[in-house]
Structure 1
Amino acid sequence: MTQWILFAAETAEGGLFDIDATLPLMAIQFLILAAILNALFYKPLGKAIDERAGYVQGQLKSAKEQKEKSLALAQQYEQELKEVRKQSQEIIANAQAEAQKIVSEQTQQAQQEVIAERQKASEQIEAERNQAMSALEQQVQALSKQILEKVLGREFAK
């Protein structure tokens, strides 16, 4: 049977693989078609893809730079915020100390005024007591004199 197949292959024309001038012609046509497709479609498409890749890379680089700048600014602002908070706490502490000092001074002044008023009142009371005592002494002397006059008579009272 294999002999029959070989015999049929030898006698048949236009077999599956005829090697004649069509094979190089087909290869040349394929190469020309590949060159035309490359020139018309693949190069512009490749150029567009390359441009797009360059654009994307540029945007990524720009985004990274902006991210670094924003992180640096955020860090700077955090540092400034810490300094401002520290300064504000110092200002608040100074204001509280100043207010405490003013309160202490006013309290001390009020205490001194109270002491002065108390001293003045004490002096006034003492003066009034002395006045009352001298008035009482005069009245006692007058009453003693009257008592002596009534008891002993007017003659011994003088």
Structure 2
Amino acid sequence: MSLDLQSSHLTAEGGLFDFNATLPLMAIQLLVLMVILNVLFYKPIAKILNERDEYVRSSLNLASEKLTKSDELTQLYENNLKGARKEAQSLISISKKEAQNQVAQEIQEAQMKISEMVMQTSQQLNIQQEKALQQLETQVDSLSEQIKIKLLGKHSKL
């Protein structure tokens, strides 16, 4: 029976909820552990997480600003490129017109020179033809005189 008393005595004192000095001591230990963990572990981690979150937020803001600026610069460059293309097309068309005008003028000048050369050549040929005709006439006259002399000379011998 003494064994039964001891075992019942043990279960009564060491039960699940024993309201003696150990319960408040355990509560104090739990609170102290929470404060220590909060000071040593949770606050530094929370601080690092907040700093990292702020860094990510600032990086995103900076990236967003740079993206906006790059979009603006891209638009500006595209507008400048369009203007430059229009100007280049204008210069090309002006250059083409000038080149065509110059070629037309050179062709006209060449045609005028050719016409002058044809006229000069024609005049020279006419002059040479007249000279040739005069020489031919002179030769014909001379030959006819010689023929006449020869014919008259044969007639006079008869």
> Superposition RMSD on alpha carbons, in Å?
2.4
Residue 138 of structure 1 deviates from its aligned partner by 3.0
| Identical columns (%) | 47
Residue 92 of structure 1 deviates from its aligned partner by 1.9
Amino acid paired to 2:59: Q
Distance in 2 (alpha carbons) for counterparts of 1:16 and 1:61: 56
Under a length normalisation based on structure 2, what TM-score does the superposition of the two structures give?
Answer: 0.78
Residue 150 of structure 1 deviates from its aligned partner by 5.4
Aligned to 1:58: 58
Q: Unmatched 5+ residue regions in structure 2? A: 1-7, 154-158
* Cα deviation 1:41-61 (Å, max 9, x = unaligned): 211221111111111111111
**Count of residue pairs brought into register by the alignment:** 146
SS of the residue 1:12 aligns to: helix
Q: Unmatched 5+ residue regions in structure 1? A: 1-7, 154-158
Aligned to 1:96: 96
Alignment of 1:1-158 (within 5 A): 12-147=12-147
Distance in 2 (alpha carbons) for counterparts of 1:132 and 1:16: 155
Amino acid paired to 1:23: L
Under a length normalisation based on structure 1, what TM-score does the superposition of the two structures give?
Answer: 0.78
Aligned to 1:156: none
Distance in 2 (alpha carbons) for counterparts of 1:119 and 1:58: 89
